[in-house]
Structure 1
Amino acid sequence: MKFDHFNFNVLDLEKSLAFYKEALGLEPVRRKEGDGFTLVYLGDGTGGFALELTWMHGRTEKYDLGEGEFHLALTTADIEAAHKKHEQMGCICFENPAMGIYFIEDPDGYWIEIVPQR
């Protein structure tokens, strides 16, 4: 077994695609249209793992993320530059300086942990 993808359901696909491109440099690697839904898989250009964005056509209610006790994590070679960019975007939602990490929040409320490469 090996990891393939992880899913986030989104309300506004174009807004989410723009966020993930600007904030994390993720680009669509494949797309699937279905009856009432669109799937877009985002990749970082370095491996096979993808973030699947699922857009259910016509949905208007925000998704219930429960207690939000889950997240996706990405590493960066330049944590200072990434932090500065995310600060300018206004998407930092939690910081833990003692651990050297922080979290950003996407348009649907999902948290993404930013971790320095070690």
Structure 2
Amino acid sequence: MKFKFDHNNINVLDLERSVNFYKEALGFQEVKRHHSSDGSFILAFLKGSEAEHMIELTWLRDRKEPYNLGDNEIHMAVKTDDFNGAYKKHKDMGCICYENKEMGLYFIADPDGYWTEILPVK
């Protein structure tokens, strides 16, 4: 029996804003979208050009208040072949929320407050 990661899910308040953030910040592209038959939710699946793994953004029609992310200790991580260029882009976007220069990494926060760790390809 074999298993392979397919996707991770996060819930978002404004689907288009989140899709646009992941496109701009990480170059992710939307690969499929599912609308529930009753209009109660929409799922958007995005992935990077180098990955099979996807992120699923879920929008719930009746959700109006921000999601409680607790201590926000859960995050995803991506590697980039241009760490310095990515850092400048994210600094210009104003989305860097934490830096650890000693470890050579930093985090960005999406519009809902979810963190993504940015790592250099080594």
Instruction: Tell me if TM exceeds 0.5.
Output: yes
Measured against aligned partners, the alpha-carbon deviations of 1:64-87 in whole angstroms (never above 9, x if no partner) come to: 111111101000011000000000
Aligned pairs, number: 118
Q: In the alignment, which residue of structure 1 is the partner of 2:60?
A: 56
Determine whether 1:68 maps to 2:68.
no
The equivalent position to 2:89 in structure 1, one of 60, 85, 97, is 85
- Equivalent residue in structure 1 for 2:46, among 6, 28, 42: 42
Question: Is 1:98 aligned to residue 96 of structure 2?
Answer: no
3-state SS of 1:68 partner = coil
Is 1:32–2:62 an aligned residue pair?
no
Secondary structure (helix, strand or coil) at the match of 2:106 reads: strand
With normalisation by structure 1, the TM-score equals: 0.97
Task: Give me the whole-angstrom Cα distance separating, in 2, the residues matched to 1:86 and 1:20.
Answer: 11
Structure 1 ranges of 4+ moved more than 2 A: none
Letter in 2 for 1:19: F
Residue deviations 1:88-111 (CA, integer Å, cap 9, x gap): 000000000011000000000000
Which residue number in structure 2 is paired with residue 117 of structure 1? Answer: 121
What amino acid is aligned across from residue 16 of structure 2 in structure 1? E
**Other-structure match for 1:9:** 11
State TM-score, norm by structure 2. Answer: 0.94
Query: Aligned AA for 1:82?
Result: A
2:19 partner amino acid:
L
Query: Helix, strand or coil: the match of 2:55?
Result: strand
| RMSD value, Cα | 0.8
SS state of the match for residue 107, structure 1? coil
Determine which of 11, 19, 25 is the counterpart of 2:21: 19
Partner SS for 2:90: helix
Structure 2 portions without partners, runs of 5+? none
Amino acid of the structure 2 residue aligned with 1:30: K
1:45, distance to aligned residue in structure 2 (A)? 2.2
- Percent identity between matched residues is 54
The offset of 1:58, in angstroms, is 3.0
